[in-house]
Amino acid sequence: MKDKLVDGLKRCSDPSNQGFGCSDCPYYSETDCTYGLTRDALDILTKLQKENESLKAELGAAQQAINSMKSKLRAAGLYSN
């Protein structure tokens, strides 16, 4: 879906096409191509936002684990910073 979306967006946003590049667009065969294009764009953006939030949470947990280990190493006299 990503490749289809990117190709469709490139064709729709290219001012040199002036509406003549539509027949080469992967959304051209759909009854309402702009609906399909925007639907897929929203779907991908939503998925990326969720993935980004998940990755932020994982990064936060990893940073907490690192800080905890540093504290333990400092207490044992094995780490100084």
Does 76 reside within a domain? no
Does 69 reside within a domain? no
User: According to the model, what pLDDT value does residue 75 have?
Assistant: 94
Confidence of residue 39 (pLDDT cuts 50, 70, 90): very high
Does 73 reside within a domain? no
Range of the structural domain that residue 43 is part of: 2-55
User: According to the model, what pLDDT value does residue 27 have?
Assistant: 93
The number of domains in the chain is 1
Does 80 reside within a domain? no
pLDDT at 17 over 90: no
Average pLDDT of the chain is: 92
Range 6-34 burial, b when 16+ CB lie within 10 A, else e: eebbebbeeeeeeeeeeeebbbeeeeebe
Return d(Cα 11, Cα 65) in angstroms, integer: 47
Does 72 reside within a domain? no
Does 34 reside within a domain? yes
Does 10 reside within a domain? yes
pLDDT at 13 over 80: yes
